[in-house]
A and B are shown apart, each in its own frame.
Chain A
Amino acid sequence: MSQLTVPTMAEMTANGETPEVLFWVGCSGSFDDRAKKITRAMAKLLTKAQVKFAVLGTEESCTGDPAKRAGNEFLFQMQAFTNIQVLNAYNVKKVVTTCPHCFNTLKNEYPELGGNYEVMHHTQLLQILLDEGKLSIEGGKFKGKKITYHDACYLGRANGVYEAPRDLIAKLDSEFVEMKRSKAKGLCCGAGGAQMFKEPEKGNKDINIERTEDAIETNAEIIATACPFCNTMMTDGVKNKNKEGQIRVFDLAELVAQASDL
């Protein structure tokens, strides 16, 4: 496989170029081994669609989402102001991100602090690229495969994005099956609000197990996710249920990339 070419904002600016869109990778997408695959799938898709994109690379820093939701407003705003300085210095207009938490924070919480960008979630951008014909899905790799979709809270309930991910699954020509709790009624994977980084409080079950059971009930072969944290939680849930042979967890970017033979 050919080496990915991922230009940074610094390089592009040095060459006097302006990207159409900044790909905000996020901490999970940068450091988590599983999530890095999602990042690479997205980068390949952007390249294939000939979208002129760039990343911040080593200039990117946590949006501050987990700090804010854990109550550390100081740390959040330190991160926010620093990131906004960087983004504004590069005159960024459009941002796409594979993480709904980054998406929500950049889109809803940065404007008041001076960061105004058009922020898209990657499922929204992929939907546009497919609709415009800049990407295409051929060969029917997923034809007849049963896929279910787990709504990420920060994409769905928090921002009302329910259709873009479902539209992508429809475009895969697969057999889509909804979980009993979906869209506004979707159950959290258990990672939000900085829970990802701590042990759960005492209870009688882990939230990701409860959610994985919803997914298993659908008899789907693939659980599609749109958030790196949901991906981790659902993957762990499937492992816990010893269903790794039957069910696989993929991000929608990975599914679209696989369907496009990338």
Chain B
Amino acid sequence: MHYLPNVLFALLLLTTVLLFVKQAGKIRRNILLGRELDRSDQPKLRLKTMFMVALGQSKMVKRPVAGLLHIVVYVGFVIINIEVIEILIDGLFSTHRVLSFLGGLYDFLIGSFEILAISVLAACVIFLLRRNVLKIKRFWNREMTSWPRTDANIILTIEILLMSAFLIMNASDSILQSRLVEHYSVAGAFPISSMIAPLLSDWSTDGLIFLERFCWWFHIIGIFAFINYLPMSKHFHIILAFPNVYYSNLEHLGRLSNIKEVSNEVKLMMDPSATPPPADATPPTFGAKDIADLSWKSIMDGYTCTECGRCSSVCPANQTGKLLSPRKIMMDVRDRAEEVGNNIDKHGKDHNDGKTLVHDYITAEELWACTTCNACTDACPVNNDPLAVIVELRRYLVMEKSEAPKELNNVFTNIENNGAPWQFPMADRLNWAKEQE
């Protein structure tokens, strides 16, 4: 019986890790459903970008209020996790505050954690207010249906509960320390929880021990549960933001990829002596109809999306009431990847559910509203590229389905026939030089 808590703890820890590995593995599998794309070049610049944008949050602070609050939560989250190391050791070996041998440093650490915890708590409350009371527009767009809104509220509520448990645990612990209760050796500094402690000073020692243990277990089980909530949530960005920024597009934003297979065909048309591709080569699908036609990076973008809506709030089409929302594009990519992944799990690799990303998730009307202005890609704090998806889907509509809007078909015909989007003869190209104002 003596070892029951330790065994229970070890089992919980093991389950947490195994479940997380399984869930993360599925996401990895879904991302790799995408087409190949080589982003292994310029490792130094990639690391630097990751350091600036993901670790340094350089794009977050472009909106100072949300940016600074986010940094508080982020720094708090990272640093308070040092405390989790201690909790893990204590849990596995029945020690109490095992790191307290650090003495003054330990006091400093616990004191800092408390200050961070209360800051995180305050920031999360403000975030909840921004979403639910101030109702900031970008959190209430069309694609912010019930689940995305609930997801955000769940994350913030969990953080508030975890921080509260940490502070209440410390408050009861500090009283137990002052009562010289066995096991509760004097350690730590409690700048914040000392303000909660007076509320608990009437409690019996047994009651306090129960409260301290309850908060300790609540805190760590909460963390275990939260870890396995991540893969179902937009909160997965705390992990994927790093690889996602590392592998982000380093080119000028204006540069769109040139399709290699098209180059080969066009070269062949222009120069019949060029080497044709081998006869058994499978003809590629031009553009993207579904997840598997997108690059793996576009699918990773979907899983990294934090649904913050900065992209849509700067999108000229979205601001003027068009259906297009770059955030929805990213969310649709992720949701469709999840659906395809679940189909694979249930029905095997070659199952066809008769649905596609284009039409069933993203409509032509959304796609044709884009001005390719790159405001969305510039705004994204995790360097997502919604435009890459929009262009691939347009390519599919135009090259595989001939479903361009009528006016654009006229433009194509004009460019083909007379080298300009309008119907002017090429012979008139230099008329401007002869005309006078």
Contacts and interface: CB of A to CB of B under 8 A. Distances in A.
Interface string B409-437: 01110011001111010111111111111
Interface in A184-213: 184-185, 187-188, 190-207, 210-211
A39 B432 contact: yes
A187 B375 contact: yes
B253 A30 contact: no
A108 interface: yes
B312 to A, nearest CB: 13
Given A66-B411, A193-B370, A206-B320, A79 B430 contact: no
Nearest to A78: B266
A29, A190, A201, A205 — most chain B CB neighbours (10 Å): A201
Given A66-B421, A108-B255, A75 B416 contact: yes
A193 B320 contact: no
Interface in B232-287: 251-256, 258-259, 262-263, 265-267, 269-270, 286-287
B335 interface: no
Contacts of A75: 412, 415-416
Report, as a range, how many residues of chain B touch the other chain. Answer: 35 or more
Interface residues of A, number: 74
Given A68-B256, A108-B254, A157-B374, A74 B320 contact: no
B420 A27 contact: yes
Given A70-B404, A197-B421, A36 B378 contact: no
Contacts of B255: 104, 108-109, 158
B415 A104 contact: no
A151 to B, nearest CB: 10
Interface in B79-93: none
A74 B262 contact: yes
A116 to B, nearest CB: 14
A69 interface: yes
Contacts of B252: 104, 107-108, 158-160
B424 A108 contact: no
Contacts of B336: none
A27, A82, A200, A204 — most chain B CB neighbours (10 Å): A27
Interface of A: 1, 3-4, 6, 8, 25, 27, 29-31, 36-37, 39-40, 43, 55, 57-58, 60-62, 64, 66-75, 77-79, 81-82, 85, 104, 107-109, 112-113, 153-154, 157-160, 184-185, 187-188, 190-207, 210-211
Give me the 9 closest cross-chain CB pairs, A-B, nearest first: A158-B254, A71-B394, A61-B419, A204-B321, A193-B372, A188-B373, A203-B321, A108-B255, A71-B398
